[in-house]
Amino acid sequence: MKAFRIVVTGKVHKVGYRYFIKQIADRNHITGSVRYEGEDKVEILACGNENDLERFITFCRVGCFESNIHRVLVSELPLAKNQNNLTMNIIE
């Protein structure tokens, strides 16, 4: 298991990007959270196995139909001891 902080910059607001991320995370067994960060950024905290995370990050870079991704920054995080989260949560 690994954990990553992924910051996506571009046209990611009001285009369904967070819901797209949740759907992709659920399909790829990724847990964590996704939330807006500023006017043109989304922060994703993602935890899963390495292969699933690689596939997930690829989708983060591509984005959904209405999005326009300019930059994706990925940094590894220490794994939490109590990873009780079972799904990707959208934080309002």
- Mean local confidence (pLDDT), 18-39: 94
Q: Residue 82 pLDDT > 60, yes or no?
A: no
At residue 48, the 3 state secondary structure works out as strand
Other C-beta atoms closer than 10 Å to the C-beta of 9 total: 15
pLDDT, tens digit, for every residue of 56-77?
A: 999 999 999 999 999 999 999 9
pLDDT of residue 86: 65
Q: Assess contact for 6 and 76: CB atoms under 8 A.
A: no
Whether domain 2-91 has CATH 3.30.70.100:
yes
Sequence ranges of the domains in the chain: 2-91
